[in-house]
Amino acid sequence: MAKYLLLKHYRHSGPKPVPGTEAMMDQWTPEEITAHIEYMNRFAEKLVESGEFVSEGALSPEGTFVRYDGEGRPPVTDGPFAETKDLIAGFMIIDVESQERAYEAAAELSAAPGQGGRPIYEWLEVRPFFAELQATAE
């Protein structure tokens, strides 16, 4: 088993979006948003049942940069950040048998409904956890 991070972005930040799916969630009706979230919840439940679910979360667009700067209080700044279109909206961590299975799961999540109930064909970023790569290489 290997852990993978499935990243959802606020804006289309992958290859070109499928025509007709460009509308962002802030342009959807409350019913469309509810249907989208219910789809993601059902998807997560399926992964729990199969033993592949690890964690998930939705992230706020707000954030702060913090770094170590020697002894004392760390410097904190509210930017600059990547453009909003590049910020991560949420994530899911899965533990699956293969990279191919991680891709299958991401493709299924990409089919979540959006405006008009049509699949959003969202590009998801699929990233293996580094420790998992090291274990695979050994």
Cα-based distances in Å from 43 to 1, 3, 7, 10, 104: 19, 17, 15, 19, 12
**The Cα angle at residue 100 between residues 52 and 33, in degrees rounded to 5:** 60
Is the pLDDT assigned to residue 22 strictly greater than 50?
A: yes
CB 13 within 8 A of CB 86: yes
Average pLDDT over residues 22-50: 92
Phi, psi of 95 (to 5 degrees): -125, 105
pTM of full prediction above 0.85: no
Is the pLDDT assigned to residue 45 strictly greater than 50?
A: yes
Selected residue with higher pLDDT from 90 and 65: 90
Which pLDDT value is given to residue 130? Answer: 85
CB 121 within 8 A of CB 21: yes
Which pLDDT value is given to residue 83? Answer: 55
